[in-house]
Amino acid sequence: MIPKDHIKYQREYQGKSLRMIAQETSYDFRTVKKYADCDNWNVISDNYITPLTTIIFPHNSGIF
């Protein structure tokens, strides 16, 4: 699996198109676009799934 940073590097510094990167890496075009456009990998996306413990214990802070 190619690191996400490498896809971003190919786009920004080597000047490759998203379609060319997708063909070379065998990733879907939308996946390559998502990896190339992301600036911060530490941000939690809007569709983040809540951990199961907060569903089971909604009033607990995560400590059992």
Q: Write out the residue range of the structural domain in which residue 17 sits.
A: 1-41
| pTM of the predicted structure, to 2 decimals | 0.61
> What's the domain count of the chain?
1
For residue 59, is it within any domain? no
Greatest Cα pair distance, the chain, in angstroms, is 50
For residue 61, is it within any domain? no
CB atoms within 10 A of CB 22: 19
Residues 6+ apart with CB under 8 A from 33: 18
Provide the percentage of residues in the chain whose pLDDT is more than 70: 64
- Region 27-54: mean pLDDT is 76
Could you tell me which residue, 60 or 19, shows the higher pLDDT? 19
Residue 40 burial by Cβ neighbours in a 10 Å radius (0-12, 13-18, 19+): exposed
